[in-house]
Structure 1
Amino acid sequence: MNRQNDPRRYGITMPFPAPLPDHPAIARELVDAGYTDIWSIEVDGLDGFTPLALAAAGAPEARLGTAIVSPYTRGPALLAMTAAAMAELAPGRFHLGLGAASKPIVSDWNGTAYDRPYQRVRDTVRFLRAALSGERVAEQYDTFAVDGFRLARPPQTPPPIYLAALREGMLRLAGREADGAILNWLSADDVKRVAPYVHEGGPGKEIVCRIFVCPTEDADAARSSFRRMVTAYLNVPGYAAYQRWLGRTDVLQPMWDAWAAGDRRAALAAVPDSVVDDLLVHGSPAQCRAAIQRYIDNGVTVPVVWLIDAGTGSDHLAHALALAPGS
């Protein structure tokens, strides 16, 4: 299916479980199947840029994005240089997604103080706007200082900057100072509540949303697999506060209580099906595509599939191709 002249965007998360040398060919198959966007993830596996560079080699017309990289784990100048390299590799098609990440990633794993995340993200956006335009930057920001940095190879087309955002403050920052927001861990209905905060910053803001998708009709297997992600993520204070803000306090409080008491098994069992079904798209490929469309109908401009394995040992690429918009 040729989507070259179709303005709609439809993304997928990389890397895949396959070896990295296979990723250029995988990217080619994905784009040929109808995916317009490839977005990376950076947690505890691979970094957020290398898979995109390989994807660019295999599918040079693909739009690429990081969702997300943290301004705590790279210095400002290094972040600017890496973004410039990606923008040169994929001119006009690379999107820099930034996010504060979380205390476990920033402090426990990278030995950096997780201090004033809103201000750190805001300051990084302001620095990157200047640096990626080729300016010499000598500035004392609230959370760091840069003394006399200038990119030797600024990109001809500076990449748009998107911010991972959960609640009102960061959502408004994404709309006011960035080019859009990156969302996750929310239902299609939640998008209707969240998106207006971004649009307060003006028209034309992108809403990128990573959507957890498990294309299986075995609902029990899908829910069982995803519950582990729920307990791993939604006990992180920032995500817990986010779910409270979205109105899930009553249904998630038993899980939070069990986790706080150190009973991981009870916490897992306390995650109700209703929460899993809110946050995970599952069913046949056709049912999954219809559920993803609900996110789009409610304001998402770039849906990004994150495939969740139900533990059946099925082929990751085959699932991705079955979910493609051209299928």
Structure 2
Amino acid sequence: MRLGINVGYWQRDPEDATETVLAAERLGYDHVYTAEAYGSDAFTTLTWYAARTSRIKLGTAVAQMSARTPAATAMHALTLDALSGGRVTLGIGASGPQVVEGWYGVPFARPLERTREYVRILRDVWRRAEPVTSAGPHYPLPLPSSAYAPGRVTGLGKPLKSIVHPVRPDIPVYLGAEGPKNIALAAEIADGWLPLFVDPAKIETVFGASLAGRRAGFDIAATVTTIVTDDLAAALEFAKLPLAFYIGGMGARDRNFHLDLIARLGYAEEAARVQELFLAGRRDEAIRAVPDELADSISLLGPIGRIRERLQVWRDSPVTTLLIAGVKDEPTLKAIRDLVQP
């Protein structure tokens, strides 16, 4: 099992994770991943860490598709990949309608179609076999005059090929996915899957059919909140915070993919209650309403001996990479490395 870290969103000083990233590199961790929502972006912080490291691989978990056209994302990835010596893994995701339409101001419809088209264009840009074209319908290249009202498109667009030769024409693409169809798409077209909240003991029963078509070498890189402490109760409370936020606040009342995921894991009634409390402004109650069993099952919590025992569930699962989230100090990163890769 490979081992990485996920430093998540950058929010403000002093949240510079450089020391953590450098420690992870010294300890032989495979990857550092960054994230974005509707504040900081994933690529700037990743470039910051790239400039300070030499070996650790650099991933986005995830860069939001609606934030950039496929060509723009391909340019970000190929530039950083070249500057870092071929270390980039591009994780992308469709996000949800609240963010896509409320923050980026573009339509959310048909996310599976959009993802397939997006990935195809990324790879065409990197391969440079010929000028990039796409019949659409979501990202047509060149842009046809019929795409907008008369007079808004010049009709002068022409197929272009990147003026930069990528270091690698096959930069790995991972998909952040939660629903069965989106996970099946990842297994079909991507190099890996980036699950956010996943119970390793339930991957086969809940998502086995979706993953059945994955190719050899397909990476399942799961982000795992990790808290090493003798106070298990405090660790559980901390692990519930992101669950309550995503179940309650990262999605519309009637369309929340995170809530749907938790329901698939067997906590439909509990998730509905968390959302109800969160949307009513009763956030402390929403956090307490997250079941202990749920928070524990998707995390690594407690004394180091307990984490050692819990790791067996992850080893027995289809997960191939653990992305440790929440650990900042080198001694704890070392202790976890020694457990995962003795």
TM-score by length of 1: 0.85
2:87 maps to 1:75: no
2:284 maps to 1:272: no
Contact 1:180–1:205 (8 Å) recurs in 2: yes
CA distance in 2, matches of 1:267, 1:26: 31
How far did residue 19 of structure 1 move? 4.5
Give the secondary structure class of the aligned counterpart of 2:66. Answer: coil
The residue that corresponds to 1:108 in the other structure is 102
The residue that corresponds to 1:238 in the other structure is 257
How many residues in Structure 1 have an aligned counterpart in Structure 2? 313
The residue that corresponds to 1:179 in the other structure is 191
The residue that corresponds to 1:311 in the other structure is none
The AA in structure 1 aligned to 2:240 is R
Among 166, 181, 186, the alignment partner of 1:155 is 166
User: 1:128-148: per-residue Cα shift (whole Å, max 9, x none)?
Assistant: 111111131121223221212
How far did residue 219 of structure 1 move? 1.8
The AA in structure 2 aligned to 1:208 is A
CA distance in 2, matches of 1:108, 1:289: 43
Does 76-85 or 270-279 show the bigger shift? Answer: 270-279
Among 287, 291, 298, the alignment partner of 2:317 is 298
User: 1:226-253: per-residue Cα shift (whole Å, max 9, x none)?
Assistant: 3232221013311111222222213333
User: 1:269-304: per-residue Cα shift (whole Å, max 9, x none)?
Assistant: 322222222223211234335434532320111110
CA distance in 2, matches of 1:88, 1:20: 26
Among 90, 93, 96, the alignment partner of 2:87 is 93
User: 1:81-111: per-residue Cα shift (whole Å, max 9, x none)?
Assistant: 0011122123443111111122333233333
Kindly, what percent of the aligned residue pairs are identical? Answer: 25
Give the alignment's Cα RMSD to 1 decimal: 2.6
Give the secondary structure class of the aligned counterpart of 2:105. Answer: coil
Contact 2:223–2:323 (8 Å) recurs in 1: yes
The residue that corresponds to 1:227 in the other structure is 240
The residue that corresponds to 1:3 in the other structure is none
The AA in structure 1 aligned to 2:247 is L
Contact 1:307–1:320 (8 Å) recurs in 2: no
Does 247-256 or 146-155 show the bigger shift? Answer: 247-256
2:53 maps to 1:54: no
The residue that corresponds to 2:273 in the other structure is 254
The AA in structure 2 aligned to 1:285 is I
Among 206, 226, 229, the alignment partner of 1:213 is 226
Would the alpha carbon gap of residues 114 and 213 (structure 1) be closer, same or farther in structure 2, given more than 3 Å must change? same
The residue that corresponds to 2:2 in the other structure is 9
Does 65-74 or 53-62 show the bigger shift? Answer: 53-62
How far did residue 36 of structure 1 move? 1.6
How far did residue 27 of structure 1 move? 2.6
User: 1:140-159: per-residue Cα shift (whole Å, max 9, x none)?
Assistant: 22322121232111313131
TM-score by length of 2: 0.82
CA distance in 2, matches of 1:20, 1:232: 20
Question: Which segments of 5 or more consecutive residues in structure 1 lack a partner in the other structure?
Answer: 1-7, 309-314
How far did residue 10 of structure 1 move? 0.5
Contact 1:172–1:200 (8 Å) recurs in 2: yes
Give the secondary structure class of the aligned counterpart of 1:146. Answer: coil
Would the alpha carbon gap of residues 93 and 243 (structure 1) be closer, same or farther in structure 2, given more than 3 Å must change? same
